[in-house]
Chains A and B, each alone.
Chain A
Amino acid sequence: MDSTRQFADTRPQTTTGNGPDQSLPLSPGPVGFRRSLVLWGLSCRAFWLSLWLFFVYLTLSGPLGVKLMPNAVSRVRRLADRQRALAKEYSGIEIPAPYKDVPDQDRGKALRAQLLAKDNQVYRDWRWATIDPIAGGAISFGPLLLVLSGLWGLTTAVFGAQLSQDWDSIWYLFIPVDGWGTAILAGVLGLVQFPLAFFWAGPRAVNQHSRYLRAMLSPGEGELLAPRIEHLTTTRSDAVDTQMAEIRRIERDLHDGAQARLVAMGMTLDAAEHLLESNPEAVRALLVEARQSSNKALEELRDLVRGIHPPVLADRGLGDAVRSLAMISPLKTDVQVDLPARPEPPVESAAYFAVSEILTNAAKHSGAERCWVDVRHDAGMLRITITDNGRGGADINAGTGLRGIERRLATFDGVLAVSSPLNGPTMVTMELPCVLSSPKTTSC
């Protein structure tokens, strides 16, 4: 099976469109005018929709409104989606739309609750749909209005003199038309409005409309940050759990290992002391035993330290530490490292232990003979790829190994992807955002 999984990336995007208003690209003249017409058409649709929404809103407290709710919400959303897409296409303004998930049962009630909660996308959509026929319509109608006014100016030029007599007097804009002279003036004035509409007002109206749409539909900063905060809360609690488990493991290792051996050593030495006079031969054997105990205790302490912070990682950094892992891996492992400098120590350590665990997994479960590790840094990302030629079928959802690694990487906003089709090869990719420091040696 092929299980590829990407951890939900909740880092704040840099292009949320809420930033300072950079000068937007203008649509080329006639295109801008055509676009303003499209927007105006949509505002007209919003008008009919707003009438319908008004009715739904009035019945909302009763069962009928709840029944009509899902359909109304999705119609508003479709229209809003279209507008958002156009804003992006026309003006390059990206408007985020964080819709909350709605349970399948009780959709109507859930949506009603969302609408009434005000601080969310459904509420903003409805508010926009109600105001858009007027505000959005006014903005997008501007260019068309100029054209219509221009046409009326031409009409006045031709029929103005005649009409002013029939209708007593007519005005074109600020000109009282009372004869041929003023009629021609009105015609010229009308004519000027065509290029004005096509080349000046059209493109500007489109961008203005996009800005207005963003103001209406964009979620507040707080709402945009909410998922990020949720992510941070989860990973922080994971980090605390991991750390606690680690401390417990160290405590247990010390207690069952070195500490127990030192106690045994003390007892052996005590026995030796008692036998010193009576049985020197036995004492010799006991002393040998004590020395073995001390060697064993030292060995266990070394292993423990290696599991906390490997000396080679501290001394040489990630590249050599991974090479060292490769040397002691039962798989024939090729290592490629392209790191101009060292990552931050916590990131380095997380990456090291992830690689270590993945290599161990590969040696244990994949049935592979060879393994390739590639470590590089580009575009602010530490990217590590581990490939083996084993039988594949690794699943991030089965077992806790890969999931645990993923969780630990998530603390650093890192992601893990596994591609492992049946019959292999298995490829595990990790990405950790990080900056490289200047090469340095740790001091203690």
Chain B
Amino acid sequence: MRVVLAEDHFLLRDGLTRLLQAFGHEVVAAVDNGPELLRSLTEQEPDVAIVDVRLPPGFSDEGLRAAVEARTRVPNLPILLLSQYVEPLYAHELLSTGSEGVGYVLKERVSNGAEFISTIQRVANGGTAMDPEVISKLLTGKKRDEPMSTLTDREREVLECLAQGRSNAGIAEALFISEKAVAKHISNIFPKLGLPQSDTDNRRVLAVLAYLDADGV
């Protein structure tokens, strides 16, 4: 894959570059500020971009703004946002540019190399990757909603994993249950929330995210 990388800490940028190269990916640009990022995103049109939210010159949300801008110019350009903090509002803004090929995860997830690479791949393939913290925050915002309160604890856990962008197999692994059980839970959850059942993993994730994110603001 051709990857654009935006990260202002030299060590992390270097580490990520090496990690990506070790897994056989090509880093076509490694930048350390917002304006340069936007330029490389639109010029290079990479297979996926890994972007730190907080970048020079302002050290606020330059990365996010560049990502949103790039996705309006190049629709569905796959972008994975990294941040020291997850902010539901930022997730909402990123998702409002289309929920295909976006990801938003905590920086510390990088420490698990193999899983991080699979997250990148998921985003590059038009999938979604949301950090568990984003999802749990969105879930607290939905706690009082009528359909949410009808879910069992287990179903809620499954929903949380689902919204993160995991496949059935991934959910089964995370919750230590069988794939069959996962499928059963999911077929319970969707009617309860009034969501349409779909076959592909990604469609399902999008439906759940759209539900969680609806009238968030």
Query: Which residues of A line the B interface, CB within 8 A?
Result: 291, 294-295, 298-299, 302, 305-306, 311-312, 314-316, 320, 323-324, 326-332, 335, 369, 441-444
Closest chain A residue to B62 by CB distance? A441
Q: How far is the CA of A305 from the CA of B85 in the complex (A)?
A: 10
The 5 closest A-B pairs by CB, nearest first: A441-B58, A315-B60, A324-B89, A441-B60, A327-B216
**Binary A-proximity of B127-144 (CB < 8 A = 1, otherwise 0):** 000000100011011011
B147 CB to closest chain A CB, in angstroms? 13
Q: How many residue pairs, one in A and one in B, have C-beta atoms under 8 Å apart?
A: 68
Chain A residues contacting B111 (CB-CB under 8 Å) are 291, 294
B88 and A327 contacting across the interface, CB-CB below 8 Å: yes
Chain A residues contacting B198 (CB-CB under 8 Å) are none
Chain A residues contacting B58 (CB-CB under 8 Å) are 441-443
A312 and B87 contacting across the interface, CB-CB below 8 Å: yes
Chain B residues contacting A443 (CB-CB under 8 Å) are 57-59
Closest chain B residue to A440 by CB distance? B58
Does B173 interact with chain A (Cβ within 8 Å)? no
Report if A330-B85 is in contact (Cβ < 8 Å); known contacts: A298-B108, A315-B60, A443-B58.
no
Interface size in chain B (residues, C-beta < 8 A): 28
- Give residues 75-129 of B contacting A (CB, 8 Å): 84-85, 87-90, 92, 106, 108, 111-112
A44 CB to closest chain B CB, in angstroms? 71
What are 14 A-B pairs at a CB distance below 8 A?
Answer: A291-B112, A294-B108, A298-B108, A302-B84, A311-B87, A316-B61, A324-B88, A324-B89, A327-B88, A327-B92, A327-B216, A330-B141, A369-B144, A443-B59
Chain B residues contacting A335 (CB-CB under 8 Å) are 217
A65 CB to closest chain B CB, in angstroms? 70
Report if A315-B61 is in contact (Cβ < 8 Å); known contacts: A320-B89, A328-B88.
yes
Q: How far is the CA of A320 from the CA of B89 in the complex (A)?
A: 8
Report if A312-B84 is in contact (Cβ < 8 Å); known contacts: A327-B217, A332-B144.
no
Chain A residues contacting B138 (CB-CB under 8 Å) are 327-328
Q: How far is the CA of A294 from the CA of B215 in the complex (A)?
A: 34
Chain B residues contacting A323 (CB-CB under 8 Å) are 89, 217
Chain B residues contacting A306 (CB-CB under 8 Å) are 85
A442 and B60 contacting across the interface, CB-CB below 8 Å: yes
A299 CB to closest chain B CB, in angstroms? 8
A332 and B89 contacting across the interface, CB-CB below 8 Å: no
